Structure 1
Amino acid sequence: MADLKRITDKIRKPLFWRRKVRAAEECAKPSPTLSSQPGRKWFRACTVKVAGAALLVSLFLPAAAHGQFGIDLAAIIAALSKVESLMSKFVAAPLKDINQTQQSITKYEQEVIYPIAAINQAKNSVNQFENQFTQIRSLFRTNVSSATLPQSQSLESLLLSRNAGNVPSVSSQFQNVYGVVMAQNAASPEVRNMTDMTDAQAQDAMKRAIEIDALADAELAEADQMGQQIAAAAPGSAPILEAEADVWVVRANAYTQAALSELMRTRGIDIANQSKLAKLGAADNQNNNGLINGALTQH
């Protein structure tokens, strides 16, 4: 585009005080030859500049943008609505039927198989049983010591200790009360062997009684723990009444073993007394022999 400042044939009006001077100069100049091309108007170049500037500005103006890679929002909403309709038809409906079936099964279990009232009644029964067992156990722990002499009291407390760790001390305490096997010259070998075996059997019975008492205590403790677990068990986790019956069986076995230990103690004492009688008879025979020998010697 031609520069307007370099166009020599551009017609400009001079200022009003120079018009007269300009007119005189032009009159003095010879008239130029007319050019073959007419002169260009200055406003045409101005129009081109304005048009170019407008085009340049339009290139930098921000244009409206579409989100989601040009996908229309209405199309997205329509697609989501279609997906929701399909999920409601093919997913929500079957899930609703499954939920209703599950609720029916749960209701049947709660009202027929595991009714709340029956479960609470069973738990209350378990608590009552546990209270009764606690009272029975306190009776089971009643002190039955009856010996009055120091040595016999020591042996009796050892036999009723319910502690298996006291078993090694039974022999010494037994000898303090029932004595030891007679000397070799005091009785015949047959009597001494019988006495020794009787003492051994009596001590074995006493030791076994202490062990059975300790075993009964362990079983009672286990039965109590089982009863507490049953009382706190969740409904349906185990047949409550059947488990409580099993606890009763365990306790009954413990009580039976405790009674058997008492019978074994009684039998042990009876055997020990028979051994003591044999020892006393041997001592009496020895004294009688001494008296007879002394009387014969004097005569």
Structure 2
Amino acid sequence: MTDPKNNPNKQRRSFFWQRKPALAQELARPVHSVQAIDSKAQPWYQPTLLKVAVVVLAVAAILPTHANGQFGIDTAAIMAALSKMQSLMNTYIAAPLRVINQNEQSIAKYEQQVMYPLAAINQAKSSVVQFENQFNNVSSMFRVNVSSATLPRSQNLESLLLSRNAANVPILSGQFQNVYGVVMAQNAASSQVRTMTDMTDAQAQDAMKRAIEIDALADAELSEANQMGQQISEAAPGSAEILEAEADVWVVRANAYTQAALAELMRTRGIDLANQSKGSKLATSDNTNNNGLINGALTNR
């Protein structure tokens, strides 16, 4: 009798999920039919229990396991060290920093409420804006046209004197001579009178030229003061500094006004000197005419 385990015609049943409903019918077939079917070589990929066990063992060997990080140091030791470091930082670093922060907040509060209060700064800014508006009104009045000459030659000279442009200084001498005349001829007056007249004309022209230059300088200073005032109104470190800077701006403007008034006085004095020179010239001309009349009367006698 043949051993069932060593029987080559032993029927190998598949797993339960691969079994077909017709398995009972196949089992009912004759033995020789089953032996003929099973005698066929089965393919290698057909799953078996041994194959499944090998695959499971291989997958279990490949799957990663839990690793112990930090070079084998225990997590509890790491957490204890971190906790100790945090305690030291809170004691020796956080506490002093907290005190420093409180002191800085106290200083900032003192500066904001006592030294540089916001209300005083806003009031100073509004005062600066008000001062600037007043200055603009004064500046517009300062630019009022005061020309008064009616004749062409005198109008040309007056326009040069009030031009406030230093580039017009070289051409003033010609306009001056058109209005006040030139030094008398050599035979028309004595050398002393001619010298005095020439010096008077020179001094009058110098005063007029200087007045034009001072007017130009005053305009430059006023423009600079206006820019300073605008900058102060925009940037304000503190109310006291704003008021002090605005006072300095007004000092510059006052100096500019003083220089403008001085220029006007110099113009007036220059015109006075020119008039005196013109009087000497007219007296000389009258003298010449009188001498001619006297000579003619004596000759015709």
Residues 258 and 65 from structure 1, CA distance in 2 versus in 1: closer, same or farther, beyond 3 angstroms?
Answer: same
| 1:176 pairs with one of 170, 175, 178 | 178
| Paired AA for residue 239 in structure 1 | E
Q: Distance in 1 between matches of 2:64 and 2:262?
A: 104
| Paired AA for residue 212 in structure 2 | I
Give CA-to-partner distance per residue, 1:7-66, whole Å, 9 cap, x none.
Answer: xxxxxx9989xxxxxxxxxxxxxxxxxxxxxxxxxxxxxxxxxxxx9xx98997755422
| 2:155 pairs with one of 153, 156, 162 | 153
CA contact (8 A) 2:215 2:260 kept: yes
* Structure 2 residue 118 is matched with structure 1 residue 116: yes
Q: Distance in 1 between matches of 2:239 and 2:278?
A: 59
Identity between Structure 1 and Structure 2 (%): 76
- Correspondence list, 1:129-278, <5 A: 129-236=131-238, 239-278=241-280
Q: Give the 4+ runs in structure 1 shifted more than 3 A.
A: 13-16, 56-64
Q: Distance in 2 between matches of 1:60 and 1:196?
A: 121
Quick check: 142-151 or 222-231, which moved more?
Answer: 222-231
Give the deviation of 1:233 after TM superposition: 1.9
| Paired AA for residue 143 in structure 1 | N
| Paired AA for residue 190 in structure 2 | S
Unaligned runs of 5+ in 2: 9-53
Q: TM-score with structure 2 length normalisation?
A: 0.78
Q: Distance in 1 between matches of 2:269 and 2:253?
A: 24
RMSD of aligned Cα (Å): 2.4
Q: Distance in 2 between matches of 1:73 and 1:285?
A: 127
Q: TM-score with structure 1 length normalisation?
A: 0.78
Give the deviation of 1:81 after TM superposition: 2.0
Q: Distance in 2 between matches of 1:228 and 1:62?
A: 75
| Paired AA for residue 154 in structure 1 | N
Unaligned runs of 5+ in 1: 1-12, 17-52
Residues 189 and 107 from structure 1, CA distance in 2 versus in 1: closer, same or farther, beyond 3 angstroms?
Answer: same
Partner of 1:65: 67
Max Rg structure:
1
Q: Distance in 1 between matches of 2:104 and 2:260?
A: 52
Give the deviation of 1:231 after TM superposition: 1.0
CA contact (8 A) 2:121 2:239 kept: no
Partner of 1:296: 298
Give the deviation of 1:108 after TM superposition: 0.9
Aligned length: 252
